[in-house]
Amino acid sequence: MPPSLDASKYHNLLRSFLAEDVGAGDITTESTVPATQRARGELIAKAPLVLAGIDLFGEVFRLLDSATEVENCSRDGEELKPGKIPARVRASARALLTGERVALNLLQRLSGVATLTHQFVCAVVGTSAEILDTRKTTPGLRMLEKYAVRAGGGRNHRKDLSEAVLIKENHIRLAGGVSAALTAAQTAKDRAAWMEIEVTNLDELRAALAYNPDVILLDNMNPALVRQAVQQVRAHDPARKIRTEASGGITLANVREFAEAGVDWISVGALTHSAPAVDLSFEIEPA
């Protein structure tokens, strides 16, 4: 089943986006289009994509015109071909013109994240690896971008710093080493959904294994070294209670190599920090 999104929970965020774009008023639309004019708009996919955020698209126009009627012809998570019409909207012509850019920008951004995620997910089909996002999200859009990752078939990593302990390179350096960091982190164990530590070589891995963390993040290792690390983790933990995660330098071209190395998770910052916006257009006509 595709994920679902309650667009009403994001009214304040959408209003802030509209306020940023409209400013003191849409002087072009207000001077050229009568207030009583009604119009209809068709959303059109111009390239292959995976949809995410379709309910937010319609909600933008509802905030400008409570009488807006939206017909969603596609659902989030659906793969669309060029020419597909995922939604039709009937509303005040002024509402459609004023809200068009905000609605499109958001939909194109979220669908871009979903589309790139889907490409990574497809690249590892047949392996046991799952594709995860990171906290490398656009400020203010984290929960929506993480929703888009799910729409593309990926999974979410930490939603914020309070959810889990994730000891990274800088924590290790400041704490005085892998063992010192993991010893100190035990005080937070009861507050964390899981405990994870980043290692960059096999010596750090062996030090981490002594503490049996929930997840070991294999950072910036090549696939061959990842395979060795996974084998060492499995030898230490035959019950497979410790998950392994690969991250750093992972692209569509090499992600399958990492998946075939045996890791459980592959986290990809590019899903949210480098996903290109997809090509969608919104064509408006008099109703």
Give the catalytic positions in this structure: 101, 136, 168, 198, 219
Q: Taking phi first (over 0 means left), then psi (-120 to 50 degrees means alpha), and beta for anything else, what does residue 186 get?
A: alpha
Structure tokens at 67: 């009488």
Q: Any bridge partners for residue 165, and if so which?
A: 195
> DSSP 3-state assignment of 77?
coil
DSSP per-residue letters across 240-251: --SEEEEESS--
* Those residues with Cβ within 8 angstroms of residue 166's Cβ, 6 or more apart along the chain or in another chain: 158, 196, 197, 198, 217
Q: How far is CA 178 from CA 144, 242, 272, in A?
A: 34, 17, 29
